[in-house]
């Protein structure tokens, strides 16, 4: 059995694999976000802009996490007692705050997006004329709807620097539910359907209480996904457990 310090990820040094994954992820996701933001939105979505899409918000969180992890890679290699506090803060931000946020968001996005993208396009694409091509090129589509979760899972489970998140399932439920509610209120503040605006995804263009039910359902799934990730031990901890067993 491994000790508590190791199981929480404390004392581990970021690996080169983690650095490479985060650098490549930041480049790919930033490229995808830029090109996605260049897509001309239909009139019903133009006023709220690209910031209303959960996909774009999730990619921004992922790039922030990538940046935090790149900084953390260098911070953890600094010597001297005066930097110990900064090491703890850097590890906290990169591995215990931004990583679980990005991981859950980037799991929900493709989980909802790809089934609808492949089998029910009208539920995620707003005002696309019949016969018109989907406005997002496949390379950009993959950069914002597929590669982010691949990079995050690789960093968490395969880089050798992953660890079980310290936050409890109960606190995670509060954070995830609060985030879902914040996004709900954010959209409500941006969108006025009486002026011809529409929600970013057609499946949200329903009356209450059905829209709230959708948010509650998705938030609950996100929490269950977090529990699933916590139950799966990252590769680094599996290796340490075998050594100390």
Question: What's the pLDDT tens digit per position in 1-18?
Answer: 333 333 344 457 899 999
- pLDDT at site 109: 98
- pLDDT at site 128: 74
- pLDDT at site 155: 97
- pLDDT at site 64: 99
- pLDDT at site 239: 53
- pLDDT at site 4: 38
3-state helix, strand, coil split of the chain in percent (to 5) is 70, 0, 30
- pLDDT at site 176: 98
Question: From first to last of its 245 residues, what are the pLDDT tens digits of the chain?
Answer: 333 333 344 457 899 999 999 999 999 999 999 999 999 999 999 999 999 999 999 999 999 999 999 999 999 999 888 888 999 999 999 999 999 999 999 999 999 999 999 999 989 988 776 667 888 999 999 999 999 999 999 999 999 999 999 999 999 999 999 999 999 999 999 999 999 999 999 999 999 999 999 999 999 999 999 999 999 988 655 554 455 44
pTM for this prediction: 0.90
- pLDDT at site 3: 36
pLDDT, tens digit, 9 for 90 and up, residues 28-77 = 999 999 999 999 999 999 999 999 999 999 999 999 999 999 999 999 99
Instruction: Answer yes or no: are the C-beta atoms of 237 and 3 closer than 8 Å.
Output: no
């Amino acid at each position: 059995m491994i000790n508590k310090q190791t199981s929480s990820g404390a004392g581990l040094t970021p690996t080169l694999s983690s650095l490479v994954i985060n650098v490549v992820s930041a480049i790919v996701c930033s490229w995808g976000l830029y090109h996605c933001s260049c897509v001309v939105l239909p009139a019903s979505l133009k006023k709220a802009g690209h910031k209303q899409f959960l996909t774009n918000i999730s990619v921004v969180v992922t790039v922030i996490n990538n940046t935090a992890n790149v900084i953390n890679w260098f911070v953890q290699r600094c010597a001297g007692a005066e930097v110990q506090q900064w090491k703890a803060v850097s590890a906290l931000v990169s591995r215990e705050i931004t990583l679980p946020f990005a991981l859950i968001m980037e799991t929900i996005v493709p989980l909802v997006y790809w089934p609808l993208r492949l089998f029910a396009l009208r539920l995620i694409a707003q005002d696309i004329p019949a016969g018109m091509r989907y406005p997002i090129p496949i390379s950009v589509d993959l950069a914002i709807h597929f590669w982010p979760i691949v990079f995050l899972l690789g960093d968490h489970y395969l880089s050798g620097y992953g660890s079980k998140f310290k936050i409890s399932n109960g606190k995670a439920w509060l954070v995830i539910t609060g985030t879902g509610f914040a996004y709900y209120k954010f959209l409500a503040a941006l969108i006025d359907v009486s002026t011809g605006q529409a929600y970013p995804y057609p499946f949200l263009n329903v009356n209450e209480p059905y829209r709230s039910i959708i948010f509650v359902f998705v938030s609950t799934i996100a929490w269950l996904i977090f529990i699933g990730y916590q139950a799966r031990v990252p590769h680094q901890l599996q290796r340490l457990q075998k050594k100390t067993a």
